[in-house]
Structure 1
Amino acid sequence: MAEVVVPEPQDPVAPGPPVTPGQVPGGRPPGRLERLRHLAAARAVLAVAPEPESWLDVGCGRGYFCAAARRYFPYTAFDGLDATPLVEAAREVGRIEEAHRGLPEDPVTSLRLTGRYDVISLLGVRPRPGRLRAIRPILRDGGHLLVDARPDSPAALSALTAAGYRPVPPPRRRLPWQPLLARPVRVRAGR
């Protein structure tokens, strides 16, 4: 007679299946179009900053953009800033190196991150002048800001100008869905 195997009952408080690298619980990976947008955003930075040392993704969520950008910047340290606990999950699966909880407008967060990043990306985050001003001290001198906005968007351009940034012209023709690059305007001493 064949032996009957009865499965063990599942413990209701036991954790679910283990999380493998590159997988964040509760989220679906980005679709093809979103992956292409992430790669195009990273390529926009590649033209003006070929080897940034450090990069902060504001509103990073699960860190999918950082994982895509690593394709072009394998030696860059990617960190994430988000108000949700997803940023810690992104660090646990290796999409970012450091996870920061909070908002750039928070004085404690801003003080802790001052002068640390060569590139800051705001993809999927509305570029409001207050947030853009709060990000300025986090950028290193000569750093770049990557904003998810169309180059012909008057609202985005006025927000950048009001916060003290100027758009960086793309080296070649820009696609309509590529993000906008900007740099802080330098203030000359004594004038």
Structure 2
Amino acid sequence: MQLKPGVFRLDRCRQCGHVFQNPRLSAEGLQYYYRDFYDGMNFSKMQKGMRRKRATYRRRASALLPFTTTPVAWLDVGAAHGHFCKTARNVFPGTLFHGLDASASLAEAVVQGHVDRAFQMELPALLNSPLRATGYDVISMFHVLEHVTDPRTYLECAMELLKPGGLMVIEVPNPACPMARLLGRYWLPWLQPQHLHLAPRHNIVRLLGELGWDVLLADEGAAHDPIDVTAAVALFANQHLPVAPAPWHVAEPTRSGQLLRRAGWLVALPLLLVGHVVDKAIVGPLLRMSGQGNAIRIIARSPRRAIS
């Protein structure tokens, strides 16, 4: 998306359907590609995008209503700028929201009042931290597990941090979505090189069962984000038009190239609008009804007593 240098390969296990980046980036490599994506040069743009997703955040929070009405404390893993927590307060007004993220932008979420407490670290580090809370009623991980090198460890950590009988809600991309095959490399949820793992629903459910979770909901329709066609048009245009100025480009973009890029986006604008209508009116409803959306939502309950 930023047109930083690099080519990335995804392999799919023929037996179970798990999709994984191969070879996988090192921690230093990941840091290079994360840099200026959520923070730095892209901070303002990312803030605007997250503010526009209030309806999505409200649906995510409301998905817990059939299972709990009064969570005392909620930990949002991958909280970024805290916009989900800000919106979720309207659904659960009496809940304390804590945010966890490796990004420095989380500090601003505390200043803005989006979260009550912030942990700038990875989830496994919280287990051994003196800042660790006594236990959470809910832990959310919205589009987090696909980013981490070891999703199993994150699920184990969540169980340790939850109160007995506490709830976990996760959302991850659905690699079995028909749009993934149709759009190929221009399907946004591939999001290379950030997404290291894309697991089908049955793999996640099986793993949760092995770890002792009680799976209450596993759905591939309700969490669908109607953006596939629009994003594919944008990704295609972004890749094929002259690059915008950025410090990671070897050659300085020319003035004629920048004029051509602006003209190209003007040409692409009607296609983006058509894509938006198609996503909202046709593709989105069809995928939700068929249960083949671009995201998987799973709600699970931790054991009410310790597993021996």
TM over 0.5: yes
Aligned to 1:182: 300
Please say if 1:57 is aligned against 2:71: no
Q: Is there any run of 5+ residues in structure 2 with no aligned partner, and where?
A: 1-42, 175-199, 225-295
Matches within 5 A, 1:1-191: 26=44, 27-30=47-50, 32=52, 34-106=53-125, 107-109=127-129, 112-113=131-132, 115-126=134-145, 128-149=151-172, 153-169=201-217, 175-177=222-224, 179-186=297-304
Q: How large is the Cα RMSD of the aligned pairs?
A: 2.8
Q: Quick one: percent identity of the two aligned structures?
A: 26
Q: Alignment length, in residue pairs? A: 163
Are the aligned partners of 1:81 and 1:87 in contact in 2 as well (CA < 8 Å)? yes
How far 1:130 sits from its partner (Å)?
A: 1.0
1:62-109 deviation digits (Å, cap 9, x = unpaired): 011111111111110001011111111111100000011111112423
| Amino acid in the other structure paired with 2:211 | A
| Amino acid in the other structure paired with 2:75 | L
Instruction: Assess, with a 3 A threshold, how the Cα gap between structure 1 residues 62 and 123 changes in structure 2: closer, same or farther.
Output: same
The normalised TM-score by structure 2 is 0.47
The normalised TM-score by structure 1 is 0.73
Matched residues in 2 for 1:54 and 1:188: separation? 20
Instruction: Assess, with a 3 A threshold, how the Cα gap between structure 1 residues 188 and 139 changes in structure 2: closer, same or farther.
Output: closer
Instruction: Assess, with a 3 A threshold, how the Cα gap between structure 1 residues 163 and 176 changes in structure 2: closer, same or farther.
Output: same
Instruction: Assess, with a 3 A threshold, how the Cα gap between structure 1 residues 130 and 96 changes in structure 2: closer, same or farther.
Output: same
How far 1:125 sits from its partner (Å)?
A: 0.6
| Amino acid in the other structure paired with 2:300 | A
Secondary structure of 2:60's aligned partner: helix
Secondary structure of 1:161's aligned partner: helix
Are the aligned partners of 1:166 and 1:184 in contact in 2 as well (CA < 8 Å)? yes
How far 1:184 sits from its partner (Å)?
A: 1.5
Secondary structure of 1:105's aligned partner: helix
After superposing the two structures, state which structure 1 stretch, 85-94 or 158-167, moved more: 158-167
Secondary structure of 2:222's aligned partner: coil
Matched residues in 2 for 1:179 and 1:188: separation? 25
Are the aligned partners of 1:130 and 1:163 in contact in 2 as well (CA < 8 Å)? no
Secondary structure of 1:118's aligned partner: strand
Matched residues in 2 for 1:99 and 1:52: separation? 18
